[in-house]
Amino acid sequence: MDDLLTTKQLEELLKVDRTTIYRMLSDGRLTGIRVGGQWRFPRNVVEQCLVNPKSVKQLVQADAITPSADVLPLDCLQPIQEVFATAADIGSVTTAIDGKPLTPMSNSCSFCDLILASPDGRKQCEASWARLAQTTERAPRIEHCHAGLSYTRGRIQVGNEFVGMLFAGQFVADESARRALKFDEIAQRCNIPAADLQRAAADIRIVDPSRADWLLRLLQKVADTFSHIGQRQLDLILRLRHVAQIAQV
C-alpha cells in the first residue's frame, strides 16, 4: 500500500482538484486502481512525472482553462461598478488588459462623455487604459490620462492570470489643475471643438489627496471582489464541463 497514493495525496502533489483527477482518469491521462472502493495511484508513475515539471504540465494541460476576461460575468459586475462609481463620485469602467471596455462607463462626467463620444477620443482613452496594464506594480496608484485627468486601476486576477482592470477616474486634485488642462491640444487629438471641452470642464470632479488615498483602498477592494467572482465563475465552468463529460459516457 505504501506504493499507492490516495486521491488526496495526488491533489497535493499535482496541485489540482479532485474533479480534475477523475477527469484525467476517465480520459487515460492517469492510471489508477480501485482499493476498497477508493482510487489509488502508483507512486512510481507519479514520481516520474514530478521529476520533470514539463511532464506535470503535459499531464494536466488538456484539462486546463487559461483564465481570461471571458470568465467575468459582466452582468454581475456592472451593478457593483455602478454602486462603486456613485458612492465614490468618480467615473468607472471595467476593461480587458488591452484597454477595450468590457462594461459601459459608470457615472461619467460631461467632459469625458465628449471625449468618449469621439472615435479619436475613445482611442486615446483606450490607449491610456492599456498603458496601465503594462505596469508591474499591483497596488493602485494615481496616474494621468491623455487628457491630463487623474485615474487609477485595480487589477482583476483569476487564478494567477491578470484578466482585466477596474478603473476609477475622471477627476483632478484641485481647481488649479482643472484650469491648467490643455484644451486646445486635447481638442486637436480627439477631434472635438475646444470651446465645447472648456465648457464641459466645469463638470470635472475634484478629489483632494486625502480622499484619493481612501479611493485607492476602496478601488482595490472592489477589484478583489471582481477577481473572486471571476474565480467562482471559472470553477462553475469547470464543473459544468465535467458534468457534460460524464453525461457523454
Summarised one tens digit per residue, pLDDT across range 162-190 is 999 999 999 999 999 999 999 999 999 99
Based on C-alpha coordinates, what's the Rg of the chain? 24
203, 110 contact by CB (below 8 A) = yes
DSSP per-residue codes, 25-52: HHTTSS--EEETTEEEEEHHHHHHHHHS
Q: How many CB atoms lie within 10 A of CB 249?
A: 5
Q: Is the pLDDT of residue 220 over 80?
A: yes
Q: How confident is the model at residue 245 (pLDDT cuts 50, 70, 90)?
A: low
Domain ranges of the chain: 4-64, 69-230
Residues 6+ apart with CB under 8 A from 168: 84, 85, 88, 90, 91, 92, 140, 151, 152, 153, 154, 215, 219
CATH architecture of the domain with range 4-64:
Orthogonal Bundle (1.10)
Picking from 157, 133, 156, 158, the residue whose alpha carbon sits closest to that of residue 65 is 158
pLDDT digits (tens, 9 = 90+) for 4-55: 888 888 888 777 777 777 777 766 677 778 777 788 888 776 766 655 555 5
AA letter at 195: A
- Identify how many contiguous H helices and E strands the chain contains and give both numbers: 11, 8
pLDDT digits (tens, 9 = 90+) for 63-111: 556 667 888 999 999 999 999 999 999 999 999 999 999 999 999 999 9
Kindly report the pTM of this predicted structure: 0.73
Return the pLDDT at 231: 87
Return the pLDDT at 249: 47
Domain at 69-230: CATH code: 3.30.450
Q: Is the pLDDT of residue 210 over 90?
A: no
Return the pLDDT at 146: 96
The torsion angles phi and psi of 206, rounded to 5 degrees, stand at -110, 125
Mean pLDDT check: name the lowest of 38-47, 115-124, 130-139, 198-207: 38-47
Q: How confident is the model at residue 56 (pLDDT cuts 50, 70, 90)?
A: low
- In this predicted model, which residue has the larger pLDDT, 239 or 113? 113
